[in-house]
Amino acid sequence: MSSCLIAPSILSANFARLGEEVDNVLKAGADWVHFDVMDNHYVPNLTIGPLVCEALRKHGVTAPIDVHLMVKPVDRIVPDFAKAGATLISFHPEASEHVHRTVQLIKANGCQAGLVLNPATPVEVLDYVLPELDLVLLMSVNPGFGGQAFIPSALDKLKRVRERIDRLGKDIRLEIDGGVKADNIREIAAAGADTFVAGSAIFNAPDYATVIAQMRAEVAAARR
């Protein structure tokens, strides 16, 4: 199993002080910055684009930026995010006419590629494309908003995707996104996730370092 990575979703950060918020959460022990891009079309919400990603890089953020695109169509915006400093780019298959082509486009632009499965998207969508991926992102809420409750069926889905990744024997990260908290992360880790997005659980807490440390301890307990 790969190392445990914590990826705070900046959707729940204070956007008026975004650079400082990202610095603080990284100082508090976060590994990646999870960057939620919403277009008010694929999902009913509107957030941030490549300019903000670029601004974080110019501000001095060197940690991996994990871009979660909830944008349809997706291909046109991929090169812009690559130029803006994205490390990984993940997209929803429903937002791409040609999933395999979008994966290749992301890689051709020098980024790692991830595919995102909504709660009702079957794992079979990974057939034929899993070997090309660097990451699978399972949604444990319907995309569009932070602060929603974890959908329990994601646990069974995590197990099924973990089996597929292990069978393939390739180093592919299994990321979970939505409703992840210190009090449910242990069972999420036990089900096979190795990369944990958490927005409200971290940014709504008084002390980011305490929550992140708690989360890591829970993941370690699941792996013992």
Ligand X SMILES: O=C(CO)[C@@H](O)[C@H](O)COP(=O)(O)O
Residue 169 assigned to a binding site: no
**HEC string for 110-167:** CCEEEEEECCCCCHHHHCCCHHHCCEEEEECCCCCCCCCCCCCCHHHHHHHHHHHHHH
**For this structure, is 23 an active site residue?**
no
Tokens 């918020």 label which residue?
21
- Minimal CA–CA distance to 114: which of 96, 140, 135? 135
Counting contacts by CB under 6 A, is residue 34 touching ligand X?
A: yes
Counting contacts by CB under 6 A, is residue 121 touching ligand X?
A: no
* Positions 124 through 163 that interact with ligand X (CB under 6 A): 141, 143-148
Q: Which of 87, 199, 208, 218 binds ligand X (CB under 6 A)?
A: 199
Counting contacts by CB under 6 A, is residue 112 touching ligand X?
A: no
Which two tokens mark 28? 């508090």
Q: Rank residues 8 and 50 by Cβ distance to ligand X and give the closer one.
A: 8
Least distance in angstroms from the C-beta of 215 to ligand X: 11
How far apart CA 111 and CA 134 sit, in angstroms, is 10
9: β partners: 34
- Among residues 31, 39, 177, 194, the one annotated as catalytic is 177
Which two tokens mark 204? 């709504």
**For this structure, is 166 an active site residue?**
no
Active-site residue set: 36, 177
Residues of this chain that interact with ligand X (CB under 6 A) are 9, 11-12, 34, 36, 68, 141, 143-148, 177-180, 197-201
